[in-house]
Amino acid sequence: MSNTADTLTLTCSRCNGCGEVACPPASCALCGLETDKVEIETEGTLYSYTVVHRAPPGVAVPYAIGYADFVPGLRLFALVTPIDELTPGATVRLVPDCDVGYRFELIQELVS
């Protein structure tokens, strides 16, 4: 995991045999073969999300969580900000989050 300014680069592994991508990098859990280290793209596509209004005691609501898909073929789960105007298909950026490593930040479309 490397960290420049407000964008985060995650390093994953991709299996030489079956192409399985894993993060954090590891030997392939499916076929046991060697893997290459690859950096995933820092911008991905929000696959789905929800704004949570009822959480376990002590957790402040509302907050948004979601899955986002990144090239070369990995789905990650994280908090999403800001929680307004989210939609599946939106472009998000991986940004560092001191508590949990990373979160997804919505890239706002510029309205001209």
Contact (CB, 8 A) for 30 and 18: yes
Residue 78 CB, nearest approach to another protein (Å): 7
Between CA 73 and CA 33 the distance in angstroms is: 18
- On whether the CB atoms of residues 22 and 35 are closer than 8 A, the answer is yes
Q: Nearer Cβ to another protein, position 4 or 85?
A: 85
Minimum CB separation of residue 4 from another protein in Å reads: 23
The DSSP bridge partners found for residue 81 are 105
Q: Which residues bind another protein (CB under 8 A)?
A: 20-23, 47-57, 59, 63, 65-67, 69, 73-79, 87-89, 100
Q: Which is nearer to another protein, 65 or 95 (CB)?
A: 65
